[in-house]
Structure 1
Amino acid sequence: MKRLQLQRWSGSVLSAQARTGGRLQQRLYTAIRHQSTASPAAPAGHDQLIREQPQAPSIRPSRPSQSRYNLPSPPVEAARESAKLASLHARLYLPSRLPLETLARSLVDASADPDPNFNNESLATLGHDLLTQYTSEYLVCTYPRLPLTVVFAAMYAYVGPKTLAAMAKEWGVESVAAPGGEVDPGYLQFRRLPPGAEVNPELITGTERPHEEETHWRKSVTSRVVYDNEYGDPVKAGVPPSELPEREAKNNNLGVSHEQASSTFVHALMGAVYLHAGRPAAKRFFEQHFLSRHLNISDLFNFSSPARDLARLCARENFDAPVARIISETGRKSRSPVFVVGIYSGADKLGEGAGASLLEARFRACVASLKGWYLYSPLNVRVPSSMEEEGAAPWKPVHVDLGEVII
Structure 2
Amino acid sequence: MKRLQLQRCSSSVLSPRVRTVNCLHQHIYGRRYSTAPVERQQEIQQNESIFEDSDAKEKLLARIVKESHIRGSQLSYPSPPVEAAKQSAKLAALHARLYLPSRLPVETLARTLVDASADSNPEFNNASLATLGHDLLSYYATEHLICTYPRLPLTVIFAAMYAYVGPKTLAAMAREWGVELAAIPGGEVDPGLLQFNRLEAGAEVPNPPPSNPARPYETAKHYRKTVTSKVFYDDEFGDSLKGKTDAVTSEHASAEFVRAVMGSIYLHAGRPAAKRFFEQHFLSRHLNISELFNFRAPARDLTRLCAREDFERPVAKIISETGRKSRHPVFVVGIFSGQDKLGEGAGASLVEARERAAVAALKGWYLYSPITVRVPSAMEEPSAAPWKPVHVDLGEVIV
Q: 1:54 to 1:361 in 2, by over 3 A?
A: closer
Partner of 1:285 in structure 2?
277
What's 1:340 paired with?
332
Letter of the 1:392 partner, please give it.
A
1:356 partnered with 2:361: no
Distance change (3 Å), C-alpha of 1:389 and 1:47: farther
Of the three residues 215, 223, 229, the one matched with 1:210 is: 215
Match of 2:143 in 1: 137
Distance 1:207 1:366, change over 3 A: farther
Alignment partner of 2:75 out of 49, 62, 69: 69
> In the TM superposition, what whole-angstrom CA distance separates every residue of 1:235-272 from its partner, at most 9, and x where no partner exists?
24x6xxxxxxxxx9xx63xx111000000000000000
CA drift at 1:205:
3.5
- Equivalents in 2 of 1:122, 1:47: separation in Å? 44
Match of 2:54 in 1: none
Distance in 2 (CA, whole Å) between partners of 1:181 and 1:358 is 69
Q: Does 1:264 align with 2:256?
A: yes
Matched, 1:121 2:127: yes
TM-aligned CA distance change 1:400 to 1:224, over 3 Å: same
Question: Is structure 2 residue 198 aligned with structure 1 residue 192?
Answer: yes
Q: Distance in 1 between matches of 2:67 and 2:240?
A: 56
Q: How does 1:377-396 map to 2 (within 5 A)?
A: 377-396=369-388
Aligned to 1:101: 107
2:187 aligns with 181
SS at match of 1:326: strand
How does 1:36-47 map onto structure 2 within 5 Å?
none
SS in structure 2 of the partner of residue 311 of structure 1: helix
Distance change in 2, residues 1:100/1:55 (3 Å): same
Correspondence for 2:84 = 78
Preserved CA contact (<8 Å) 1:135 1:158: yes
Matched to 1:110, the amino acid is A
CA separation of 1:214 and 1:311: change in aligned 2, threshold 3 A: same
Query: What is the letter of the counterpart of residue 176 of structure 2?
Result: E
RMSD: 2.8
**CA distance, structure 1, for counterparts of residue 80 and residue 379 of structure 2:** 40
Deviations 1:334-361 (A, max 9, x none): 0000000000000000010000000000
Relative to structure 1, the CA distance from residue 66 to residue 122 in structure 2 (aligned partners, 3 Å threshold; closer, same or farther) is farther
Structure 1 position 189, deviation (Å): 0.8
Find the partner of 1:300 among 292, 298, 322.
292
In 2, distance between residues paired with 1:228 and 1:53? Answer: 52
Q: Aligned in 2, Cα 1:375/1:52: closer, same or farther, shift over 3 Å? A: closer
Match of 2:376, as an amino acid?
P
| Superposed displacement of residue 77, structure 1 | 0.6
Q: Does the aligned pair in 2 maintain the 1:74–1:182 contact within 8 Å?
A: yes
1:242 counterpart residue number? none
Residues 186-225 of structure 1, C-alpha deviation per residue, up to 9 Å, x if partnerless? 11011111222222x4x64458552223445443222221
Return the match for 1:161 from 154, 164, 167.
167
State the match for 2:391 in structure 1. Answer: 399
Q: Percent identity?
A: 71
Whole-Å separation in 2 of the counterparts to 1:286 and 1:116: 25
Structure 1 stretches of at least 4 aligned residues deviating more than 4 Å after TM superposition: 42-56, 206-209
User: Following the alignment from structure 1 to structure 2, what is the Cα–Cα distance between the partners of residues 319 and 226?
Assistant: 33
Letter in 2 for 1:398: V
CA distance 1:160–1:207, shift in 2 (3 Å): farther
Unaligned runs of 5+ in 1: 1-31, 33-41, 60-64, 239-247
Q: Is the 8 A contact 1:143 1:374 kept in 2?
A: yes
Aligned partner of 2:180: which letter? E
How many residue pairs get aligned? The number is 347
Distance 1:257 1:144 in 2: 35
Amino acid at match of 2:275: K
Q: What SS does the aligned partner of 1:354 have?
A: strand
* Partner secondary structure for residue 199 of structure 2: coil
By how many angstroms is 1:403 displaced?
0.2
Give per-residue Cα distances to partners, 1:35-69, cap 9 Å, x unaligned.
xxxxxxx978799988878998xx9xxxxx96211
Compared CA separation, residues 181 and 138, structure 1 to 2 (3 A): same
Determine the structure 2 residue equivalent to 1:326: 318
| Contact 2:148 2:369 survives alignment (8 Å) | yes
Read off the aligned partner of 1:211 and give its amino acid letter.
P
1:309 correspondence with 2:301 = yes
Identify if the C-alpha distance between structure 1 residues 49 and 356 changes in structure 2 by more than 3 Å, giving closer, same or farther: same
Letter in 2 for 1:146: L
SS across alignment from 2:216? coil
Quick check: 2:80–2:186 contact (8 Å CA) kept in 1? yes
TM-score (normalizing by structure 2): 0.81
